[in-house]
Structure 1
Amino acid sequence: MTQRGRAGARPGGRPGSRRTRPEPETRGAAPQPRVDLGAARARLREVVEPVVTKAGYDLEDLTLTRAGRRFVVRVLIDTDGGVGLDDVAVVSREISEALDAADESGGELLAGEYQLEVGSPGVDRPLTEPRHWRRNIGRLVAVDGLTGRVTSADDTGVALDVDGVTRELAWAGLGAGKVQIEFKRMDEADFGDDDDVEDDDEDEGEGEE
């Protein structure tokens, strides 16, 4: 995940989402006000989702947590073509600018400093939407007691290859899928050293008379 700046750079030169408001002294400082994280998250989503959609991505998740005196806003985005580091940097900057504008026009979304993290979902993300399945065609997935390779996903449902048999599952009533991690068998792995072995044999042969 990439951390984006809001005002200035964090120690070490790495940009961070840090407000410039001074921290109160620890001794005798007033307790931090209680914040309804659910309501704050909803307000953040109203600002963030249009920005992500306009940039051509899907907002997969937005979470808001507290880490001491600081809030952590985590945004997960995705698209059919995948998300790269440059995409994350661009979207992070646009979200940060939108949050600044929202603060200036309607008051602070979050009372205090916050850190913004933008990234893409990992393989452990449950497959709950048709787009999730479409983006995992070719992968081995477990769902509703079945484990098979996703061969297609359309408006009606998803098709799995289960031990050579095609199973078609409709979206209605389909549970959350989970991508299975696969490891190559040793006899299928390509270690990339075959050419080196041949070269060694040739070198040995050149030295013989």
Structure 2
Amino acid sequence: MRSPDPAQLADQLRGVLEPVVHGAGLEIDAVEVRTAGRRHSVKLVVDLPESSPATGIDLDVIARLSRSAAAELDPHEHLIEGSYTLEVTSPGIDRPLTEPRHWRRAYLRLARITLTDGTVVEARVGRLDGDTVAVAVPGRKAPERRDIPLAEIRHAQVQVEFKPAPPAETALLDPDALSGSTDGADGAPTNHDDGGAVETVRDEENR
């Protein structure tokens, strides 16, 4: 039996793995499949639900999910012909912001945004309203608020920060943010985890 192409196989594996991921209280961000002859590499990227107040996924959770996902795939070996490697990981800091939920998760984070006209803007991410995101662009005297349609964004990625967000930027995007509960010190949200991964290998002769 010949395995389907990587994109088709990824869709099939998503259907198999989704109940296991949901059972762990997580959501599937992406399923990626790469093939080399009869060997396959399956990468399962999981994320927290939007409603979760947490800022990252513990590596122990990833490890338990990796074992559960591998056990779930074993009865479906007909989908993957040959040996395969399963990697379960959380999104790293380098994940592009491509979906509305990515922008919502990046609330009050600093992002590097490349617009369709080639302009590059570093700005703090605010609320997403429909298909437009509010951002605070740093200025010499004060930050400036801009509303950018997602259709005008070619690429966007969260940046690593080593100090709290400037209060003026945070207040511009959400005046109540500094007075409410926050994830980090001085009203700044802590950085999302930079991605933890656990890998499981399934050799054909052991299946």
Fold shared per TM-score above 0.5: yes
Q: Does 1:114 align with 2:84?
A: yes
Match of 1:75 among 37, 44, 47: 44
The 1:183–1:70 alpha-carbon spacing in structure 2 relative to 1, beyond 3 Å, is same
Hey, what does 1:21 align to over in structure 2? none
Q: Distance in 1 between matches of 2:80 and 2:3?
A: 11
| Higher radius of gyration, 1 or 2 | 1
CA apart distance, 1:136? 1.9
Please tell me the residue identity of whatever aligns with 1:91. Answer: L
Alignment of 1:56-205 (within 5 A): 56-67=25-36, 69-79=38-48, 80=52, 81=54, 82-103=56-77, 108-143=78-113, 144=115, 145=119, 146-155=121-130, 157-163=132-138, 164-171=143-150, 173-182=152-161
What are structure 1's unaligned runs of at least 5 residues? Answer: 1-32, 185-209
Higher relative contact order (CA 8 A, sep 6+): 2
- Higher strand fraction (1 or 2): 2
What are structure 2's unaligned runs of at least 5 residues? Answer: 164-207
Hey, what does 1:204 align to over in structure 2? none
Number of matched residues? 149
The TM-score normalised by the length of structure 2 is 0.61
SS of residue paired to 1:116: strand
Q: Is the 8 A contact 1:128 1:175 kept in 2?
A: no
SS of residue paired to 2:70: helix
In the TM superposition, what whole-angstrom CA distance separates every residue of 1:73-124 from its partner, at most 9, and x where no partner exists?
A: 1111111422111110122122112212334xxxx11111211110111111
Match of 2:24 among 35, 47, 55: 55
Please tell me the residue identity of whatever aligns with 1:168. Answer: D
Q: Distance in 2 between matches of 1:85 and 1:160?
A: 31
CA RMSD between the two structures: 2.7
In the TM superposition, what whole-angstrom CA distance separates every residue of 1:134-157 from its partner, at most 9, and x where no partner exists?
A: 222232212223321113335553
